[in-house]
Amino acid sequence: MKEHIVTTYDEDLNSLKSNLTKMGLNVEKQIYNAVDLTKIINISKAKEVINNDKEIDALEKKIRGFATITLSKRQPLADDLRQIIISLKISSILERIGDHASNVAGRILSVKKAPDKYITDSIHQLGILVLKNFSTALSAYDQESKKIAQSVPTEDITINSVYETCFREHLHLMMEDRDIIGFCTQMLFIAKELERIGDLSKVISKEVIYNLQGTLK
Amino acid sequence: MAEKIKISTKKVNVFYGDKKALENINLEIPEKKVTSLIGPSGCGKSTFIRCLNRMNDTIDICRIEGKIIIDNEDIYSKEIDPVLLRAKVGMVFQKPNPFPKSIFENVAYGPRIHGLAKSDDELDELVTQSLVKAGLFQEIKDRIHEPGTSLSGGQQQRLCIARTIAISPQIILMDEPCSALDPIATAVIEELIDELAKNFTIVIVTHSMQQAARVSQQTAFFHMGNLIEVGLTDQIFSTPSQKKTQDYITGKIG
């Protein structure tokens, strides 16, 4: 990558990228913890996830402010302009993903404890796939790799079908045993949150491709 | 582009003595659109724009090869009268250069020598209309007989534009018309360029990428005497196809 004549311009763009990567890693940790909660319910950990969401919101505001200043100061064009535009978009997507992770923790708080009769771990497995695909999207951004980015939407198709399977499985569970209907309903909401994170990871990968090739195809 | 082509250059080479300033320039400029020429200092964009109304004729060591066609006529052919050509292809320069005469006389000068007005009334009307089109009339209507040099820089530049359009050219060449102006005066000129493009073909040399992006529909990037890339302005500034263009517009070491 060629450097700008004005070195502070490079510093601005690098700082924007490192802040966004930092935000991404924070969100990744939030998803990791949220997915963990779907296996082992832990009230204090759930509270921690909800609390950490504030940090992510603050990072989004910081990136937005920084991107706005860079736009006005540098009046960027071509790839530089795209890099700033995707920083704005991705930071807002990350913020939403953070909300979904926090929502998972919120559901966990309301169920408190899993019934003994509930033995499936399919939603946890769904969460692992979602976390992995999010990490892939984040690496694609960090490494500016079109190849890595292109693998994300493909994997999301698998995630969607796993989500469908979870849904049907839980319907059966509820039909078989009405005692766990309440819990299963909450778990289905959690599955939906995870599935949304999958969709949003796909949007991130599309932004990365847009940045690299310059068109929204 | 589907538009009518107003100016077309074919294999144009320009030399200053032994030094080649432009090499094999093939460029089509659409009618009633704004085309901007960008590139680093010394890349040949000013040389190029000056070829379009034969301003380079006055430089002894300057030699031009190839063809420059305006409305199906080669402007370097023997039958072309450079004075008439320059009436058809007007020019506005970097620094406003009003004549040391009144505002009125500045604008009236061209129509007079080209005999464009039959009577004084007609000349008055022509001067007024030119000043109106250049967006200057409202500001100076009460002091039209004061010296042109008494105006502010931005007003002087608009006076020069009024002077250019008074002789009803078809093409207006602008060589960095805003580089000596403040942002407000620049905005006024840019607004004027938009308006003028309805009736004139405009070619503008600018060092401001943002200005090129704002005012023009087509952009050509010159580098070391070569035309590197030409395309729709929106495309050049968002997704240039050439690495050299990308590096230049984003300010990277080339």
In tens, the pLDDT along A108-126 reads: 999 989 999 998 999 999 9
Q: Compute the distance between CA of residue A135 and CA of residue A17 in angstroms, rounded to an integer.
A: 16
Interface list for A 8-27 with B (CB within 8 A): 9
pLDDT band with cut points at 50, 70 and 90 for residue A216: confident
Minimal Cα distance from A76: which residue of B? Answer: B250
**B244 is in which domain, residue-wise?**
5-250
pLDDT band with cut points at 50, 70 and 90 for residue A2: confident
- Contacts with B251 from chain A: Cβ below 8 Å: 4-6, 9
CA A111, A116, A122, A127 torsion: positive or negative? positive
Is the pTM value of this prediction over 0.90?
A: no
Q: Is the Cβ pair B238, A81 closer than 8 Å?
A: yes
Q: Is the Cβ pair B246, A5 closer than 8 Å?
A: no
Tell me, what DSSP letter sits at residue A117?
T
The ipTM is 0.75
Q: Is the Cβ pair B246, A78 closer than 8 Å?
A: yes
Contact assessment for residue B30 and residue B59, using Cβ atoms and an 8 Å cutoff: no
pLDDT band with cut points at 50, 70 and 90 for residue A215: confident
pLDDT at residue B25, rounded to an integer? 97
pLDDT band with cut points at 50, 70 and 90 for residue A1: low
Q: Is the Cβ pair B250, A75 closer than 8 Å?
A: no
pLDDT at residue B180, rounded to an integer? 86
Q: Compute the distance between CA of residue B250 and CA of residue B21 in angstroms, rounded to an integer.
A: 25
CA A95 to chain centroid, in Å, comes to 8
Q: Compute the distance between CA of residue B161 and CA of residue B148 in angstroms, rounded to an integer.
A: 13
Three-state DSSP at B16 gives strand
Minimal Cα distance from B252: which residue of A? Answer: A4
Number of domains in chain B: 1
CATH number at B105 reads 3.40.50.300
Place of tokens 């680093």: B40
pLDDT at residue B47, rounded to an integer? 95
pLDDT at residue A158, rounded to an integer? 97
CA angle in degrees (0–180, nearest 5) for A127-A107-A171: 70
| Residue A121 φ then ψ, to 5° | -120, 25
Q: Domain A7-213 class?
A: mainly alpha
Q: List pLDDT tens digits, range B113-149.
A: 999 999 999 999 999 999 999 999 999 999 999 999 9
pLDDT at residue B55, rounded to an integer? 92
Q: How far is B191 from chain A (nearest CA, A)?
A: 20
Q: Tell me how crowded residue A19 is: count the other CB atoms within 10 A of its CB.
A: 18
CA A178 to chain centroid, in Å, comes to 33
pLDDT at residue B185, rounded to an integer? 87
Q: How far is A79 from chain B (nearest CA, A)?
A: 7
Task: Please provide the average confidence, as pLDDT, over all residues in chain A.
Answer: 95
Q: How many CA atoms lie within 13 A of B154 on its CB side?
A: 15
Q: How far is B214 from chain A (nearest CA, A)?
A: 12
Tell me, what DSSP letter sits at residue B96?
-
pLDDT at residue B2, rounded to an integer? 63
Q: List pLDDT tens digits, range A122-176.
A: 999 999 999 999 999 999 999 999 999 999 999 999 999 999 999 999 999 999 9
pLDDT at residue A197, rounded to an integer? 98
Give exposure, B131-159, as e/b (b: 16+ Cβ within 10 Å).
Answer: bebbbbbeebeeebeeebbebeebbbbbb
Nearest to A78 among B237, B253, B254 (CB): B237
Minimal Cα distance from B245: which residue of A? Answer: A78
Per-residue pLDDT of chain B (254 residues; tens, 9 = 90+): 468 999 999 999 999 999 999 999 999 999 999 999 999 999 999 999 999 999 998 899 999 999 999 999 999 999 999 999 999 999 999 999 999 999 999 999 999 999 999 999 999 999 999 999 999 999 999 999 999 999 999 999 999 999 999 999 999 999 999 998 888 889 989 999 999 999 999 999 999 999 999 999 999 999 999 999 999 999 999 999 999 999 999 998 65
pLDDT at residue B181, rounded to an integer? 87
pLDDT at residue B159, rounded to an integer? 96
Q: Is the Cβ pair A3, B238 closer than 8 Å?
A: no
Tokens of B244: 């050299």
